[in-house]
Amino acid sequence: MAHDMGRINDDMAAYWMPFTPNKAFKANPRLLASADGLYYTSTDGRQVFDGSSGLWCCALGHNQPKIVEAIREQAGKLDYATSFGYAHPAAFELANTLAARMPGDLNHIFYTNSGSESVETALKMALGYHRLRGEGHRTRLIGREGGYHGVGFGGISVGGMVNNRKFFGAMLPGVDHLPLPYDSKMIRSNGQPETGADYADALESILALHDPSTIAAVIVEPAAGSAGVYVPPKGYLERLREITSRHGILLIFDEVITGFGRLGFATAAERFGIEPDIITTAKALNNGTVPMGAVAVHKKIYDTFMDNGGEGVEFFHGYTYSAHPLAVAAAQATQSLYDELDVYQNVRALEGYFADAMHALAEADVIADVRNIGFMAALTFRQIDSKPMSRSSQIFARAFENGLKVRLSGDNIAIAPPLVCEKSDIDLVVDRMQKTISDVG
């Protein structure tokens, strides 16, 4: 073990942490020992409110007894079953449950283990679908600036967050990007901005450049999460759907963050009244308890593979842990709780209260912008001496000291509390954020 790492504790050096400034963290770690309900307990015994739902995933809070029991029972019954040529009954039962929650004819489910894997799966489905239809020339993929679609090579190729791309070479070939639909006219919008639907027309320009017949799919987050909660302008998603449909291009909604209640519905597609061709999910699918993702696929795509994929394996793709029994059990329990606790209705009922709270917070002089929809919001903090993340990183660290866990993304602090919150919980978030803003200045 190396001993020249400055202030880094030797017992922490072995763990190379993801999306974390390792040297800084190990010099001053934030360690979580346990969690229950809406709170984590830190290793020094402090109660920390989970203002980011884990990482957008713990929609029901932590240690939900029915989910815990489902995992425990399953572990003692069937700990693992391969999905390659075999299956277990619960995988089919859950697929029926999930399909019933998806819009329109998105009634087939493919299991993955993460949002990144869901995106890679969706992109491969799109390319394979066109090839099986005799349109193998449709190989181009269109993403969006500011988009986050996981960390696989497909995901970072269609994604549009520079730091996730710049070290890793030329990416997939034949990828282009739409602009992020956001400008100064939308600053401090409450919910969907009134203007900006015309940002979707940039797709027409891209199609003119490449020829529509070469485009396989367009992938967007209905509401962008990781870049800092960017909300679609009214009419924008509708126009994307119209353009893609007109040209025979698949529309993929990345709902890894927005899926299962974040916007008050099972999907953002349902909230916005749009039927994409593929929806990617993960995170809140099973409350973040066991790694899992799922891709919901339109009947026409599934049928094309079944009808034209040959007599053997129709889709050469999958994962060792697809439909892992523990993940499936946790997901089925989670989905039942969404209904039992009327979680989506709770978000719809409190969305306005949450929005008002976030906009009240944003009246602080050090905040340049606020964006919100459903139970997700981001505050953009003004930089100190024009240095990126100079103030937001201090807010992030100080909030934890003040008993509040939030999400840091550039100059943005994202707030996405569990979907079972009450007004008093939102008030607590506001109080602790106001103290933090006052402390940091």
What are 73-101's pLDDT values in tens digits? Answer: 999 999 999 999 999 999 999 999 999 99
Q: Supply the pLDDT for residue 2.
A: 43
Distance of CA 58 to the CA centre of its chain: 12
Given strand 215-220, what is the order of strands in its sheet? 108-112, 293-297, 278-281, 250-254, 215-220, 140-144, 175-178
In this prediction, residue 10 carries a pLDDT of: 77
How distant is the alpha carbon of residue 179 from its chain centre? 19
Q: What are the Cα distances from residue 416, in Å, to 49, 214, 228, 288?
A: 11, 38, 11, 14
Return the domain boundaries, the chain: 31-60+342-440, 70-340
Return the pLDDT at 214: 98
The model's confidence at residue 313, banded by pLDDT at 50, 70 and 90, is very high
Q: Provide mean pLDDT across the span 256-282.
A: 98
- The pLDDT value recorded for residue 278 is 99
- What is residue 4's predicted lDDT score, i.e. its pLDDT? 46
For residue 417, is pLDDT > 60? yes
365: confidence class by pLDDT, cuts 50, 70, 90: very high
**pTM of the predicted model over 0.85:** yes
Q: How many CB atoms lie within 10 A of CB 14?
A: 7
The mean pLDDT of 47-65, rounded to a whole number, is 98
pLDDT the model gives residue 166? 92
Q: Is the pLDDT confidence value at 310 over 80?
A: yes
**Cβ contacts of residue 423 below 8 Å, gap of 6+?**
350, 353
The proportion of the chain whose per-residue pLDDT surpasses 90, expressed as a percent, equals 97
Residue 112 confidence class, pLDDT cut points 50, 70, 90: very high
Flag whether pLDDT at 7 surpasses 90: no
**Mean pLDDT across 283-298:** 98
pLDDT for 1 equals 38
What number is the average pLDDT over the span 319-331?
98
Number of H helices, E strands in the chain: 14, 15
Residue 341 Cα distances to 335, 349, 420, angstroms: 10, 13, 8
Over 80: is that where the pLDDT of 329 sits? yes
Distance CA 357, CA 399 (A): 17
Homologous superfamily of 31-60+342-440 = Aspartate Aminotransferase, domain 1 (3.90.1150.10)
Question: How is residue 385 written in tokens?
Answer: 């001496």
Range 70-340 has CATH code 3.40.640.10: yes
Tokens of 146: 């500011």
Predicted local confidence at residue 102, as pLDDT: 98
What is the largest distance, in Å, between two alpha-carbon atoms of the chain? 66
CA pair distance 358, 52, nearest whole angstrom: 14
Residue 228 in this model has a pLDDT that exceeds 80: yes
Say if residues 209 and 198 touch (Cβ distance below 8 Å). no
Flag the least confident range among 9-13, 53-57, 105-109, 417-421.
9-13
